[in-house]
Structure 1
Amino acid sequence: MPANITAPATTPGTGTVHQVPYHSQWASPGLVPAILAGDLPAAEDPRWRSYGAASPEEYEWWSWRLCGVACLRMSLGHWGLPVPSAMELAAACEAAGAYVRRADGGLDGLIYAPFARYVEANWPLTAECRPELPAAELPALLAQGHLVMLSVHPSVREPASADPPRRGGHLVLAVGATPEAVLVHNPSGFPGHSQEFAPVPWTDLDRFYAGRGVVLGKA
């Protein structure tokens, strides 16, 4: 195993945790609460240029939509691969059909099947599109060395909050599992609370999780 890749920390009876670097879907992770609350327009993020965007306006439009790209960037870093900017990956995913612009100005995606094909064509990784992925499979997948992109409701950043209106709509990266919880890196999580290695109790996961995702691994 290359020196820059950390093996999963697995202890019998306690679970698996992969030491995965964190990337927010915004350039400044510390500003996420203000951006989500509407107190700070994303276009005023002082680090917008690091996103690879041509303008603050382009950055703002894409930043609300790139949770899946943030998950991919985290995964690439974990496996010691080059990590392109968010906008480079967004453009490539759009060209691959994983994002599709609508006539009304919106965006459809991340679309799993073309995304998985794009990942496998461009990196020494496996990417399995799983339209049905029971939560019970996650501990074994993670113990085998995989990372898993999960479709959850955005309010998973606060599991103790009221029930979400639906499941899915946002992507997080499962990086570990214990008997009590799945641990996720949440691209729209709150700093110091629900961004890195954030535990989502198994007893709460079903309220947020749509039962689908993408399983990533080293080829």
Structure 2
Amino acid sequence: MKPLPEAVPFFSQWETPDMTMDVLAEGAGVALRRDPLWQGSGARTLDEYALWAANICGMACLKMILATRGEIVPTIELARRCTGYGGYVVNEDTIKGLIYAPFVSFVREAFGLRAEVMTNVATAEIPVILAGSRFFIASVSSWIRWPDREPPSKGGHLVLVTSASQQDFRFHNPSGHTRATQANASLAPSDFDRFFANRGIAVTI
């Protein structure tokens, strides 16, 4: 088995990564219809892309995990396949998910990944989790892109934690709005804790 690369590839949940502020200002349904790269998502239509892209932070995390071992799978293709396992529930113009347990079944059966749903996780436990798993998909507030602000609540968004110590957490944020808040974003554990909802999914490839 060839060794894994040290760097974990980054992918945004939008095909054009610098569209985050437009999405926040105008809404995904409006802003993402201007994304010139939308077809790279695996969406069949622009409507499908605009509906899904705001809901696929988890699939962006999975895409990054798979890319670490050299597999590139479009995010909406992943979402479509995950929906078949119950990882998302789609009702007309609304999408519920990511639902963790079906996701675990999906990645095991489709990609041979070992994954475990984890709840009641203290921030201080994440370095220990990563000592036994390659990645931790963490539920955080999307406001984690603004570490100097206090979030209105915790959870609702997923980031891919790639390393963690008692001094520094490193993670890829699929909806970061600048390079510094996208790939290899860095926060002290106490700052990460302000956004972390104490749950996530440990993944080993």
Structure 2 segments unaligned to the other structure (5+ residues): none
Choose which of 158, 166, 185 in structure 1 pairs with 2:172: 185
How many pairs align? 203
- Could you tell me how far apart the structure 1 residues matched to 2:153 and 2:19 are? 26
1:62 matched to 2:69: no
Larger relative helix fraction = 2
- Could you tell me how far apart the structure 2 residues matched to 1:210 and 1:179 are? 18
Most deviating of 127-136 and 43-52: 127-136
Structure 1 segments unaligned to the other structure (5+ residues): 8-18
- Could you tell me how far apart the structure 2 residues matched to 1:213 and 1:35 are? 25
Deviations 1:170-215 (A, max 9, x none): 0000011243221110000023220011012211222211100000
Contact persistence 2:56–2:76 (CA under 8 A): no
Structure 1 segments, 4+ long, off by >3 Å, are none
Query: 2:78: which partner in 1?
Result: 89
Matched position secondary structure for 2:158 = strand
Contact persistence 1:176–1:197 (CA under 8 A): no
- Could you tell me how far apart the structure 2 residues matched to 1:122 and 1:133 are? 27
**Correspondence list, 1:82-121, <5 A:** 82-102=71-91, 105-121=93-109
**Correspondence list, 1:190-201, <5 A:** 190-201=177-188
Matched position secondary structure for 2:179 = coil
Query: 1:14: which partner in 2?
Result: none
Query: 2:144: which partner in 1?
Result: 156
Contact persistence 2:124–2:189 (CA under 8 A): no
- Could you tell me how far apart the structure 1 residues matched to 2:177 and 2:167 are? 21
Query: 1:38: which partner in 2?
Result: 26
1:206 matched to 2:193: yes
TM-score, normalised to structure 2, is 0.92
Contact persistence 1:27–1:47 (CA under 8 A): yes
| Deviation of the 1:151 alpha carbon | 0.3
